[in-house]
A and B are shown apart, each in its own frame.
Chain A
Amino acid sequence: MPAEIYLNVAVSGLLTGLVYGLMAVGLSVIFGVVRVVNFAHGEMMTVAMYLAIVLFNGFGLDPLAMVVPLAAVLFALGYALQAGIINPFITRPEHSQFILLVAVALILVNVLLIAFGPDARNVQTSYSFASFLVGPLIIDATKVYAGSATVVITAALFAFFRFAPLGKAIRACADNYTGALVVGLNVKRLYALTFGLGAACVGAAGSMLVLLVDVTPALGPALTLLAFIIVITGGLGSMPGAVLGGVLIGLTEAMAGLFFTPSAKSMFSFGLLVLVLLFRPQGLLGKRLS
């Protein structure tokens, strides 16, 4: 096969991987700070995706323009979820939390199923079939837009955690819960804010992913699993790790789809997951867990 095809597929995978990376960053932030394993992560993203579809098909609003509004909506959803339901579970045993979120995921997926039915839906914008020609590469316009938007958002997020007082407060909570309490930080509120932020990432990523793939309610659990694979591979609690993991998985799946049948490509991701769990559980960039 000519080299251009590999290159095209690789670039395509990389750009899609960036969007997955943003989704995973959301999960990483939630786990890194609130220490909750958000098993409903993918389902929340699917909610965002369906919202984007409704906004587009109903009101003609382009998903790229809806990135910020959808992020805001998901922020509210995440905040409410954390403040309302999850907060009392922070101190409960791990499996209890996990099961709580499994329940939330179950409800979300099936409400979507009832509302929208099982058939695949997508969004056809004016640029859905456009592409950029860069040398030998033919890159989908949707992927370029989605990829670039993701880079901007991720950079903004990094800057927030690095420089903004609120961002630093959140990091303080993550590093030292008791210490944060002692210096007077309202940890409950910060947790809810963080969960909201993580959900906002998923809202943004969702409104972009809707340009790239077809949506069914069943996508929820698949995305959750993918998010975990990315975060574990890249390193739990490491935001750059999540981005790196996303790109890596995007690339792997794209290339695997090229060499093997498309349906087998997830098997590579699972294989990668198993290897990481066994040999380098802290992931590529994560800190070694005590």
Chain B
Amino acid sequence: MIGRLFDEVPRRGLVLLAGLLVVLLAAPWIANDYLLTVLIIVLYFAYTGQAWNVMMGFAGQLSLGHAIYVGLGGYAAAALYVHFGIGPWLGLAAAIAIAMACGAIIGFLAFRFGVGGVYFAILTIAFAEFARIGFDHFRWVGASSGFFLPVANYTRNDLWNLRGNPTMFYYVMLALTIAAFALCHVLLKSRVGYYWQAIREDEVAARSLGIDTFRYKMYAVVLSAGMTAVAGVFFAFYYNNLFPEQVFHISRSIELILGPIIGGIGTLFGPLIGAFLLTGLSEAMQELLTALGFDAPGAKQVFYGLCLLAVVMALPGGVWPWLAAKLGVNGRRS
């Protein structure tokens, strides 16, 4: 069955993929602590980028307020843990449910009322801002002063409560990323995936072929929201603190779309490549600047902006399709 999944991928691609997997699995032994934390960030952005990609790259709906799902997921699981002692793997259920409900509301409002394109993007921004201000006053989870998880010692790994050292978090994030990748691959090859692409390409034509575009757009939004919420849970338990100003801020929303845009919207590997490139290069640049004695908060963001500009102007399909062609892996756009 697994073999069937990779029917159309050329041999060279499979070899590269296997190689990458081995490297990623072995990373904690090869890399130092700092590099490991960087890798965790890379995988985090690869995962959230993939989740966002489901809405944009597959179903064509531009969301610029995706941070709302990270925040809702994180706060939901954190609140259950801090107030009721419920572990994150169970809290996940609540996190996903709440985020999906929110996604369903946004999707329903937008699609029933014909809000699309740029207006939809602005609607998503408005909702995220709404959440940011709302949570600023939400005392049960700390309001603007922040919500904190008890930090346990890092010597013991408690997988159930997600308390432990970076290696544990690394493998959790890796597993999530691989799962997201696999899910998207399966979906793309299924009827749902094809219908999403049809909607993305031409919604009117899609309807004329019997596709209930409302239903499938809702699927995309709700799935994307749910997947992103999982990242939120991870975020909460990894960083152990949540501030509405940061978690729901529009910069977070923009950050998480950079990877897939630079890597390639709608492609399977785009978010991964994008996340690697972006985080890798920016960390390197940061190191360089500190070494030269510059301490410029905001330099990283300027760098992101320039990368985005460069990609949008020169490689509108993203880096991955271009790279895949060069590698002869035929990263066929879905």
A residues whose Cβ falls under 8 Å from a Cβ of B: 37, 85, 88, 92, 94-96, 98-100, 102-107, 109-111, 113-114, 118, 217, 221, 225, 228-229, 232, 261, 263-264, 266-267, 270-271, 273-274, 277-279, 281
Our pick among B114, B115, B296, B305 for the contact of A104 (Cβ within 8 Å) is: B305
Q: Is the CB of A102 within 8 A of B119?
A: no
| Residues on A with beta carbons closer than 8 Å to the beta carbon of B125 | 225
Q: Is the CB of A99 within 8 A of B297?
A: no
Q: Is the CB of A103 within 8 A of B312?
A: yes
Min distance, Cβ A262 to any Cβ of chain B, angstroms: 11
Min distance, Cβ A150 to any Cβ of chain B, angstroms: 25
B residues whose Cβ falls under 8 Å from a Cβ of A: 56, 62, 64, 109, 113-115, 117-119, 121-123, 125-127, 129-130, 133-134, 136-137, 250, 254, 261, 296-299, 301-302, 304-306, 308-309, 312-313, 316
Q: Is the CB of B308 within 8 A of A103?
A: yes
Instruction: State A126–B49 Cα separation when bound (angstroms).
Output: 51
Tell whether A106 pairs with B115 under 8 Å between CB atoms, given A100-B312, A114-B296, A270-B130: no
Our pick among A37, A106, A229 for the contact of B304 (Cβ within 8 Å) is: A106
Instruction: State A279–B113 Cα separation when bound (angstroms).
Output: 8
Chain A's closest residue to B301 (CB) is A110
- With A102-B308, A274-B109 already in contact, 16 other A-B pairs whose C-beta atoms are closer than 8 Å: A37-B118, A85-B313, A88-B313, A92-B316, A94-B118, A95-B56, A103-B308, A113-B298, A114-B297, A114-B299, A221-B250, A263-B133, A264-B133, A266-B129, A277-B115, A279-B113
Min distance, Cβ A65 to any Cβ of chain B, angstroms: 31
Instruction: State A38–B207 Cα separation when bound (angstroms).
Output: 31
Min distance, Cβ A241 to any Cβ of chain B, angstroms: 16
Instruction: State A231–B185 Cα separation when bound (angstroms).
Output: 41
22 pairs from A and B in contact (CB 8 Å cutoff): A95-B62, A95-B121, A96-B312, A98-B118, A99-B261, A106-B301, A106-B308, A109-B298, A109-B301, A110-B301, A113-B298, A114-B296, A217-B298, A263-B133, A263-B136, A266-B133, A267-B134, A270-B127, A271-B130, A274-B127, A278-B115, A281-B115
| Residues on B with beta carbons closer than 8 Å to the beta carbon of A263 | 133, 136-137
Q: Is the CB of A106 within 8 A of B254?
A: yes
Instruction: State A228–B133 Cα separation when bound (angstroms).
Output: 18
Chain A's closest residue to B304 (CB) is A106
Instruction: State A225–B130 Cα separation when bound (angstroms).
Output: 12
| Residues on B with beta carbons closer than 8 Å to the beta carbon of A281 | 113-115, 119
Instruction: State A85–B306 Cα separation when bound (angstroms).
Output: 13
Min distance, Cβ A156 to any Cβ of chain B, angstroms: 29
Tell whether A110 pairs with B298 under 8 Å between CB atoms, given A98-B121, A103-B308: yes
Instruction: State A105–B302 Cα separation when bound (angstroms).
Output: 10
Max chain B C-beta neighbours (<10 A), residue from A107, A264, A281:
A107
Chain A's closest residue to B144 (CB) is A263
Tell whether A277 pairs with B305 under 8 Å between CB atoms, given A85-B313, A106-B254, A263-B133: no
